[in-house]
A and B are shown apart, each in its own frame.
Chain A
Amino acid sequence: MPNPVELPSPMNAAGYATRRVTKPPNWHELVAFDMLFNNMTTGLFLVAAVGDLMSRPAFAPLTRLAYPMALLFLTIDLACLVLDLGHRFRFHHMLRVFKPGSPMSLGTWSLTAYSIPLGLLATIEILERVGIGGVPTWLRTVLIVSGIPFAMGSAMYKGVLFSTTSQPGWKDARWLGGYLTNSAIAIGCAELLAIADVDGQGPVLSIRTSLLALLAINLGFLVALRAELRPVFRTLKGGPRLDQMLILGAVVGVLVPAMLILVSETVPAIAVAILDGIAIALVLAGNFLVRRSIVMLPHHENDDGVVGRWDGGS
């Protein structure tokens, strides 16, 4: 056995002061994917629902795909959540109690509540596509309207769940929830754009413009978030790498797609679709990078480990 390196020396009079007090939760890549798919399903539903309510005729061709896709992403998201549990066959224990004070409980109930109108809407769309129609408009409207708050809740809880912890970085990230919910809308918009491009129908231009505006706002949230995380990035051993990942995520997920969309104004229609496709893929990839950077924060050791201020005891 080779000599171990960097054993803590008993001659350190500061004792445990140089060590991280909190323990990182067992949350890794799967949770970064969960964060992304959460935003993909809730964002897509919300954007589609807003469009649906604003102009049913304009968005009808898109919602036909959007709701089922949102349901698919929700299923993937739930799979991530279940797989990430220590005891996977106990996911249903989440529904044993309703604790609005616990973001995870609220989120689970929101997701559950959201899944019902979404599931029905997706079913209706699929049935209509195979020719079985006849659902009254008011029922659709009721389902959409009832789905919106739960979708919103489902998107909102994730960031709060992370910021309501004692983990380095997460606990300082006041704008994490704001950023995530906001980027859900942006992602949803990008997804709708993809559907529109594939389908060749719907208000593609409006969607493209709105995506541009959303990415711009989203960048604002991301800048605010990074400002909060910067001190932690500096004190962690792997902090600079995570910071780079976050910046890369911002570039890939926000700046480049925005530029591509701006450029697409000037290119032929067929190229627009390709550029759109690239932009949308980059939005997803960039958002994943940002999420991964945030999720992995607690798994990096402190550099100096100063825990906080001390007022001299009681």
Chain B
Amino acid sequence: MPGLGASFGRGAATNTQQDFINSDCILIMGSNMAEAHPVGFRWPMKAKERGATLIHVDPRYSRTSAHCDLFVGIRTGSDIAFLGGLINYVLTHERWFKEYVLAYTNASVLIEQGYKDTEDLDGLFSGFNRESRSYDASEGHWGYEGSPGDRPDDAEETREAAGRGGQGIHGYGLMGGAISHGQPRSEMTAAPAGEPPRDPTLKHPRCVMQILRRHFARYTPETVARVCGCSAEEFTRVAELLCENSGRDRTSMIVYAVGWTQHTTGVQMIRAASILQLLLGNIGRPGGGIMAMRGHSSIQGSSDVPTLYDLLPGYLPQPAADPGHDTLDGYIEHEGLPTGYWVHFRKFVVSLLKAYYGEAAQPENDFRYDWLPRIDGDYSQLLTFERMSRGEMTGYLVLGQNPAGGGPNAGLHRAGLRQLDWLVVVDWFPTETATFWKNDPDAPTPDQIKTEVFLIPAASSPEKEGTLTNTQRLLQWHSKALDPPDDCRSDAWFVYNLGKRLRALYSGSTDPKDQPLLNLTWDYDHKSPQRLPDGTLSRIEGEPDIDRILREINGRKLDEIDPRTGRPRLLSGFSELKDDGSTDSGCWLYGGVYPEPERNRAADRKVNPGQGIQPDWGFAWPDNRRIMYNRASADPEGRPWSDRKKLIWWDEAQQRWVGHDEPDFEPEKPPGYRPAPDAEGMEAIAGDEPFIMKPDGVAWLFAPGAIKDGPLPAHYEPVESPVGNRLYPDVAHSPTVRLLRGPLNPLADTPTPEFPVVAFTFRLTEHYLSGPMSRFNGWLNELQPEMFVELSPELAEERGIEHGGWLTVRSPRGRIEARAMVTRRIRPLLVEGRTVHQIGLPFHWGYAGASVGGNANDLTSVLADPNVSMHEAKTFTCQVEPGRLAGPVARPTVPPTAWPDTRPIPETPTASQPEGKFVRSEPPQ
């Protein structure tokens, strides 16, 4: 997400899946969309039917590749080399969209004098601190020339803040341009006197375009071929197809998923794709953009209204235990921006605090900003489990997750769980996490495990209501069809009632530390008993009213009573938010989802056949805009770039932006609008600057901050790789990655003959994630009943492995056995002049369920990239040997029954028997 956020302003997919049909070329890379998102893959297939070209660049020939016009096999983790090659191709062949790039990106902006590129420093950017293995963007002079950061000797206190707020805390906002030092982010990009200096001729050696050209010059087709293992011809064909299908009249789309994000360089892969799409002029336009396919249902929603430790709802950074964040004003000064949409930062924060603390939040007490918890370290999942494995935690609550099966280096996760005193698992089935104490074949016997485990039965999705926010920021409401069975309850019920009981325990307390809990808005009871669709009353007591929660998220005008309901009037959108405490909103971004009583727009289900944009199906944030930055679909004067690709345009007569989508722009700001030099907020955004979340209104080819591992993407090898870094021989892997090496997490971070085979994990359509929902289901188990490993016939022959036989895969972290799927869909690659074998492992199995087997995540490692603490499960090195493992093997923990039941198929209703008498045997014709 920071990859997209840093480039465009918002960390979310730019377009919608339905918009695939408007695309002329779709590059799928780092995604196995047909297998992992089969329902969404309908739209690329429709685009193909309409004549679009589909390209798949991936380590494995998958069900996605089968439907693409072109498949290019590359080595896992070499994506930046490939994308860098594409960028270089576009630049050297002058195939970039000149008007677009000049007007809508920071290509012409001059960067500070002291900035040094990887070209100058042999693979590192300026500002690298070898001790802390981190960058300081201001020391590295990544900023725009003349910006406040452009001071040769920075203020001492700022440096000090950098030390405290540096590695470990990334709570400074991921979206509008997070900073990697303690300086207020407002000072990073805004030149003191209005516009930053630019060179519209793009000749200045320090302008972004020239830096870009120099940076990517070494990514030639030949280099790409040597690093990625594809042929230079294949690469050039991809480049040509993208160039041919981009421009005024045509658009190309890039699709990625966890095949990019789950790398130590994942954020930079997305940055590289962003740069490529900006150069080709594909952002903000129909059939263009970058589609981030999420790895899980409502993952987008869980970052919007976050389950992340370092964010508050709506991408407001969680305050840090840092002097700069001590007061509300300080926090806003650090995290808000004076220009662009983030100028409304105070409104968002105050409205959120009003939603949290209601009456207790008043202007005179800073709306109880002081009650918000401060973060003082990295509490991301991986680091938490690392701490847990060292015995530093006592209890843990797991809802809808299976770390013991699906966590990278799952063995470390299980070791962590064994150190706990108590564990609560809320799930449908006894998963790996719930049964680690008795079913893990590698674990000590249950009497040696001290953890007390509580398995709470959860309701399934048809048994509860709520919204899911999907890949394209689309909120879709789902109704409850029936009550959950027995003691199963929705996650919302669990959390709501847990909160109620905690509040009851603390009731009457005057201790200041208990006040946030006691004053929290926690009143979501149903006003009248909940009814099921068949009209009967729900049997569940204490279920919170999700509709009320959605209304709270939408926001209310507290000083105005709606005569229809007698309650505060609902906000029609986030533009109505105020910073004086007269509005509340649980998540400003979702403003407008519930604009009026009885009007839940997430439940809208109207389809306009044949269109890419479906404005009446669900509700997309922000403000139901389906294609973000769509101001860029028109030229600087406000006319569509071409008739074929028109989306919104400036209507002179109406003096507003009109078209097929909600404008992601001030609807009445004319193209010719120019801000006054001292303009603030949205007024500082000119009429031809489409990226309104950016302080300078344009997209960032060069990210002067925001990203912790460099302003431009550079190819680094995965931490575990059989080859060195050809592009920057001195820097093997990402210089800022945190290795988290330990006895439970050994790494082969230098090429070693012990682990010569490259492995990656992948997903099958038939199973879901680590299998907690699918491996207990007979209908799914029969479709993919066993763990297998895909390998090439060449590797199989080399190792004496037979198709269908057993093999063992060993990595520094563990070893598993699996059946051998010898297939030509996996091919050995020629990398750096030698053969590199890759194997693919589905990561769906574990030791719990009706179908059990080797867990690919017992082999993967725990690492943390500097931006989002992401691991690198998509690539690691291993050894492959024939035969089975010695020692205990997992046995099914539930009998593999012919679920759902074995009763005979029902008899035909009498009414279905047209034939009761003598018949002739001829067909009725």
Contact = CB atoms under 8 A, between A and B. Distances in A.
Interface string B887-925: 000000000000000000000000000010111111000
A3 B793 contact: no
B236 interface: no
B805 interface: yes
Given A3-B802, A97-B915, A11 B823 contact: yes
Interface string A1-31: 0011001011100000000000000000000
B35 to A, nearest CB: 16
Contact of A101 (B802, B822, B824, B921): B921
A3 B919 contact: no
A101 B922 contact: yes
B920 A9 contact: no
A102 B805 contact: no
B823 A10 contact: yes
A99 interface: yes
Nearest to A105: B921
B821 interface: yes
Contact of A3 (B804, B821, B824, B915): B804
Contacts of A97: 915, 917-919
B822 A99 contact: no
A100 B921 contact: yes
B803 interface: yes
- Listed residue (A10, A99, A100, A102) with the most chain B CB atoms within 10 angstroms of its CB: A10
Nearest to B917: A97
Contacts of A9: 803, 822
B918 A3 contact: no
B806 interface: yes
Contact of B803 (A7, A100, A101): A7
* Residue among A3, A100, A101, A102 with the highest chain B CB neighbour number at 10 A: A3
Contacts of A100: 921
A282 B517 CA distance: 96
Contacts of B918: 97-98
Interface in B28-56: none
A199 B291 CA distance: 94
Nearest to B805: A3
A101 B920 contact: yes
Contacts of B802: 3
B915 A4 contact: no
A217 B603 CA distance: 81
A98 B823 CA distance: 53
B782 to A, nearest CB: 17
Contact of A11 (B793, B920, B922): B793
Contacts of A3: 802, 804-806
A178 to B, nearest CB: 23
A171 B920 CA distance: 23
A3 B804 CA distance: 7
A99 B804 CA distance: 49
A101 B922 CA distance: 8
B823 A102 contact: no
Given A3-B802, A3-B804, A4-B804, A11 B822 contact: yes
Contacts of B804: 3-4, 7
A12 to B, nearest CB: 11
Interface in A131-178: none
A27 to B, nearest CB: 21
B549 to A, nearest CB: 49
Nearest to B823: A10
Contacts of A101: 920-922
A70 B225 CA distance: 84
B819 to A, nearest CB: 9
A68 to B, nearest CB: 33
Interface in A74-113: 97-102
A102 B915 CA distance: 16
B31 to A, nearest CB: 23
Contacts of A7: 803-804
Nearest to B790: A10
Given A9-B822, A10-B821, A11-B793, A99 B805 contact: no
A101 to B, nearest CB: 3
A99 B921 contact: yes
Nearest to A5: B804
Contacts of B806: 3
B443 to A, nearest CB: 23
A102 to B, nearest CB: 6
A99 B919 contact: yes
A7 B824 CA distance: 16
B142 to A, nearest CB: 50
A228 B671 CA distance: 85
Contacts of A11: 793, 803, 822-824
Contacts of B825: 10
Interface string B783-824: 000000000010000000011111000000000000001111
B445 to A, nearest CB: 25
Interface in A39-98: 97-98
A54 B806 CA distance: 75
A204 to B, nearest CB: 46
A100 B919 CA distance: 10
A3 B802 CA distance: 9
Contacts of B803: 7, 9-11
Contacts of A98: 918
B132 to A, nearest CB: 50
Contacts of A102: 921
B821 to A, nearest CB: 7
Contacts of B922: 101
A100 B922 CA distance: 11
A310 B802 CA distance: 34
Contacts of B823: 10-11
Nearest to A4: B804
Nearest to A7: B804
Nearest to B883: A3
A10 B804 CA distance: 10
Interface in A183-221: none
A221 to B, nearest CB: 28
A97 B915 CA distance: 9
A9 B823 CA distance: 8
A90 B793 CA distance: 53
A107 to B, nearest CB: 14
A11 B796 CA distance: 13
A22 to B, nearest CB: 21
A100 B804 CA distance: 50
A164 B852 CA distance: 46
A101 B918 CA distance: 12
A97 B921 CA distance: 10
A166 to B, nearest CB: 17
Interface in B391-427: none
A13 to B, nearest CB: 9
A11 B794 CA distance: 13
Nearest to A100: B921
A99 B919 CA distance: 7
Nearest to A99: B921
A99 B915 CA distance: 13
Interface string B110-144: 00000000000000000000000000000000000
In the A-B complex, list the 10 residue pairs whose CB atoms are closest, starting with the nearest: A101-B921, A7-B804, A3-B805, A99-B921, A10-B823, A98-B918, A9-B803, A4-B804, A97-B918, A97-B919
Interface of A: 3-4, 7, 9-11, 97-102
26 contacts: A3-B802, A3-B804, A3-B805, A3-B806, A4-B804, A7-B803, A7-B804, A9-B822, A10-B803, A10-B821, A10-B822, A10-B823, A10-B825, A11-B793, A11-B803, A11-B822, A11-B824, A97-B915, A97-B918, A98-B918, A99-B920, A99-B921, A101-B920, A101-B921, A101-B922, A102-B921
Interface of B: 793, 802-806, 821-825, 915, 917-922
Given A3-B804, A11-B822, A98-B918, 11 more contacts: A3-B806, A4-B805, A7-B803, A10-B803, A10-B822, A10-B823, A11-B824, A97-B915, A97-B917, A99-B919, A101-B921
